[in-house]
Amino acid sequence: MSGATTQTQRCIEDFGEQWSQYPENEGLYASVETLQDICGDLLNIGEFEGKTIADIGSGSGRIVNMLLDAGAKKVTALEPSAAFDVLRRNTSDRADRIVYLRAIGGGGELPPNSFDFALSIGVMHHIPDPAPAMREMFESLRGGGKAIVWLYGREGNGLYLFFVRPLRVLTSRMPHKVLHAFVKFIAILLNGYICLCSHVKLPMYLYMRNVVGKWSRHIRFVTIYDQLNPAYAKYYRRDEAEKLMSDAGFINVRAYHRHNYSWTMLGEKVV
């Protein structure tokens, strides 16, 4: 098994454990308002109404529920981890509008030429070699279909990465119980930082005031865990994110620097 395959499998296992332990999605974090914030000025989520959509890497079902709240006709939810059962539970009240696919890792799970939209939110940056998954995403779209991919960004995250990268060397190897306790401590520091940002223009103060500060304390905890847990995470430069899309075959590729710390990418499949 190659190093990239091993890292990918570890990430799948990490997230399966994470979402099984913390399955809840709530408040602003799980709202259509956040879905529009992810898409930014690239796309009005009103375009999702009545459409068939693939959600690649559905996790605990947060994005699936957002898409259905936005009016999607049918969502195909693809999830490879042990959180597949969590996904089904968290979306069970609208299962008649969902097709559940449990990825087996070899690709080819998504039917080609089938979707108006395909989304992958917070997934591709955890895959050492995302090219096959991106190509399958492209092939799954009908002509004229659009893809939205959200990625960790390099630009705007210099100070954050200075501290987090060496920290992740340790935390990505911690057992769940140890990481849980450590994240509890970091969450206390984050809560204090949010309070300071309401009075002082510290790094990322607007994001802390307008987004993280509006989340529940539980969602803040889970978000920290999400940053420190997975075996692999890449922070993309804009040119790398654009190449990821264009290499898969997408045209009219556009980028949105969400809150100046991450990249939302939109690409189209030729008609």
pLDDT attached to residue 59: 95
Look at phi and psi of residue 52 and say left if phi exceeds 0, alpha if psi is from -120 to 50, else beta.
beta
pLDDT attached to residue 174: 94
pLDDT attached to residue 83: 93
CA distance 212 to 140: 34
- Same domain? For 169 and 144 the reply is no
- Same domain? For 219 and 238 the reply is no
CA distance 132 to 140: 12
- Looking at the 3D structure of the chain, how many domains does it have? 2
CA distance 134 to 82: 22
pLDDT attached to residue 2: 61
- Same domain? For 166 and 95 the reply is no
Q: What is the pTM of this model?
A: 0.94
CATH number of the domain within which 117 lies: 3.40.50.150
User: Which stretches of the chain score pLDDT less than 50?
Assistant: none
Which two tokens mark 239?
A: 């040119």
Strand positions, DSSP E, 108-167: 115-121, 141-152
CA distance 7 to 30: 28
Cα angle 7, 12, 16 (rounded to 5 degrees) comes to: 145
- Same domain? For 124 and 168 the reply is no
- Same domain? For 126 and 195 the reply is no
CA distance 142 to 1: 34
- Same domain? For 206 and 256 the reply is no
CA distance 17 to 49: 33
- Same domain? For 133 and 15 the reply is yes
CA distance 109 to 130: 15
Question: Residue written as tokens 């195909």?
Answer: 76
- Same domain? For 119 and 216 the reply is no
- Same domain? For 71 and 98 the reply is yes
CA distance 91 to 77: 10
Percent of the residues in the chain that have a pLDDT greater than 90, as a whole number: 90
- Same domain? For 150 and 69 the reply is yes
- Same domain? For 219 and 244 the reply is no
pLDDT attached to residue 105: 57
- Residues present in the chain in total: 271
pLDDT attached to residue 167: 95
pLDDT attached to residue 1: 53
pLDDT attached to residue 104: 64
Q: What's the domain range around 105?
A: 3-154+234-268
| Model pLDDT for residues 166-176, shown as the tens digit of each residue | 999 999 999 99
- Same domain? For 11 and 103 the reply is yes
